[in-house]
Structure 1
Amino acid sequence: MQFYLMLMIALLPVVKHKHVVIAHRGDHTVLPENTLAAYTRAITDGVDYVEVDLRTFKDGRLYISHGELSELNKDVPSFTDVLKLCKGRVNIYLDFKEADPEIVYPLIKRAGMEKHIVVYCNTLEQVDAWQRVAPKMPLMTSIPDDVKDLDAFFDRYPVSAIDGNVGQYTGEMLAVFKKRNVAVWLDVQAKEEGPLSWQQALDTPVQGLQTDHPGALINYLKQKGNR
């Protein structure tokens, strides 16, 4: 039996809500994205996760930004700052843009946050790298378009969650996800995001929503008795 067939799916962080709400780049329609202020506002909103874009600056420092930067400024938080802010308050959805797991994971452990982070891997090579460095860390990724056999994919890449868009997955695919205990967290952030798109997502058996409007989504879930 090959090694990857023996890998176990890591457990996702425990949350108290039926549907996970993830604040995309913090509450960034109110405050500048990927800043401590935007994350703090999202925590106040009551989200389960803040989405954090992790990159490595040219001098080796780990910083948070969706895009690349030519220079750092005071508004760009370090990864350590974000870990300190979130500890004991909220989970982190770590969008692993450009960094080294062998450097990042010790920082996560030192902060005592290893049970409160899900790492989103942008490539399957990142999945392999994280499996080598931290096999108990829950990972998330996208399903490549050319995948025909989902069971074989999850045997090879035992992720704990996948992302996707509303309507992307068939009932047959959703059944495989459920059988494999893989959570589905849909991306609902879009220009037209609102109650219609939220309800379309909730009408499918998904476990989480990543949103640009965390406060409004949480209020909607409360009105529907889902929070």
Structure 2
Amino acid sequence: CMTSADDGLLKPPRHGGVYVVAHRGAHQGIPENTLAAYRKAIELGVDFVEIDVRTTKDGHFVSVHNDTVDAYCTDGTTGRVRDFTLAELKALDIGSRVGPEWADERIPTFEEILGVCKGRCGIYLDLKDADIEPLIERIRAGGMERDVLWYAWPGKLLQLQRLCPECIPMPDPGPEANLPKIIETLQPRVVASVWRHYSRRFVQTCHDAGAIVIVDESDPSCWADALAWGSDGVQTDYPGEFIAYIEAR
């Protein structure tokens, strides 16, 4: 069947015909969602880094998974990301919890991430708490419309399709029963799935509709089934190990 790589929508995968997505970057021994983790993922040769986009109090965009900073700071700083200005967030040491050598690692802005990734890898953009219009502007300014997969609620993705027809929406239908409606509504070219909703039939339904599938599964014991069932890509916390796995097949 025709895939999104075949028709030029996406660059072809770098390893064994399977897209590798580094969940929060390559963060084994490196603070997650930092430029260091994204650079490490690029060095490993991933196709995409996954980022989590939130908005600061003063309207900047940053990559932080949780809605609070509590888990990232060892000095007792707490609070919601949206209640800090960018300058306040940039002052936080989010690296020391992983190791003293990361004390200078900071929460990255969306613009910094685009700069690190442009021409080196794609971005799997998990829209946590942000308006899409200013994000589209920044992506267009960098000429990266075809380098970003947008993971968001269907309503947001419909808005994305209206505002940026060349952008790539990537819905997660949840249970397989939702797939026909998602396919009809969004006609996606890329579909995301978590392991508990994923099956051979799920993949076949997507492929029949002209979409590729990226499954989110870090457990190496699931990789064989993920690939046997026809997944076109895997999002994982272990990108280095996954690349070695697919190259050894």
**Corresponding position of 2:169:** 139
Q: Distance in 1 between matches of 2:174 and 2:130?
A: 22
CA deviation after TM superposition for structure 1 residue 159, in Å: 2.0
Relative to the length of structure 1, the TM-score reads 0.85
- Over 3 Å counting, the alpha-carbon distance change for 1:150 and 1:216 in structure 2 is closer
Structure 1 position 159 matched with structure 2 position 188: yes
The answer (yes or no) to whether the contact 2:146–2:166 under 8 Å persists in 1 is no
**Corresponding position of 2:21:** 22
More moved, 69-78 vs 84-93: 69-78
Residue type of the partner of 1:221? Answer: I
CA deviation after TM superposition for structure 1 residue 160, in Å: 2.1
CA deviation after TM superposition for structure 1 residue 141, in Å: 1.5
Q: What does the per-residue CA deviation read over 1:71-115, in whole Å, with 9 as the maximum and x for residues that have no partner?
A: 312501110000000011001111111111211111001112112
Percent of aligned positions with the same letter in both sequences? 33
- Over 3 Å counting, the alpha-carbon distance change for 1:30 and 1:15 in structure 2 is farther
CA deviation after TM superposition for structure 1 residue 176, in Å: 1.9
The answer (yes or no) to whether the contact 2:174–2:197 under 8 Å persists in 1 is no
Structure 1 position 46 matched with structure 2 position 41: no
**Corresponding position of 1:84:** 115
Secondary structure of 1:92's partner?
Answer: strand
- Which one of 10, 15, 40 corresponds to residue 13 of structure 1? 10
Q: Distance in 2 between matches of 1:79 and 1:210?
A: 20
**Corresponding position of 1:125:** 155
Q: Distance in 2 between matches of 1:149 and 1:28?
A: 32
Structure 1 position 200 matched with structure 2 position 230: no
**Corresponding position of 1:73:** 90
Q: Distance in 2 between matches of 1:168 and 1:105?
A: 30
More moved, 75-84 vs 111-120: 111-120
Q: Distance in 1 between matches of 2:25 and 2:121?
A: 11
The answer (yes or no) to whether the contact 2:191–2:214 under 8 Å persists in 1 is yes
- Over 3 Å counting, the alpha-carbon distance change for 1:29 and 1:199 in structure 2 is same
CA deviation after TM superposition for structure 1 residue 23, in Å: 0.1
More moved, 74-83 vs 167-176: 167-176
Secondary structure of 1:217's partner?
Answer: helix
- Which one of 213, 221, 224 corresponds to residue 184 of structure 1? 213
Residue type of the partner of 1:207? Answer: D
**Corresponding position of 1:114:** 145
More helix by share: 2
CA deviation after TM superposition for structure 1 residue 171, in Å: 4.1
More moved, 47-56 vs 11-20: 11-20
Q: Distance in 2 between matches of 1:211 and 1:170?
A: 18
What is the aligned residue count? 209
Q: Distance in 2 between matches of 1:149 and 1:188?
A: 20
The answer (yes or no) to whether the contact 1:23–1:211 under 8 Å persists in 2 is yes
Structure 1 position 221 matched with structure 2 position 239: no
RMSD over aligned Cα atoms: 1.9
CA deviation after TM superposition for structure 1 residue 158, in Å: 2.0
CA deviation after TM superposition for structure 1 residue 119, in Å: 0.7
Higher relative contact order (CA 8 A, sep 6+): 1
Q: Distance in 1 between matches of 2:210 and 2:156?
A: 21
Unaligned runs of 5+ in 2: 1-6, 68-80, 92-105
Q: What does the per-residue CA deviation read over 1:35-91, in whole Å, with 9 as the maximum and x for residues that have no partner?
A: 000000000111000001111111101111111225312501110000000011001
Q: Distance in 2 between matches of 1:79 and 1:21?
A: 21
Q: What does the per-residue CA deviation read over 1:122-177, in whole Å, with 9 as the maximum and x for residues that have no partner?
A: x12111211121122111111144x7464443121222222223463444433321
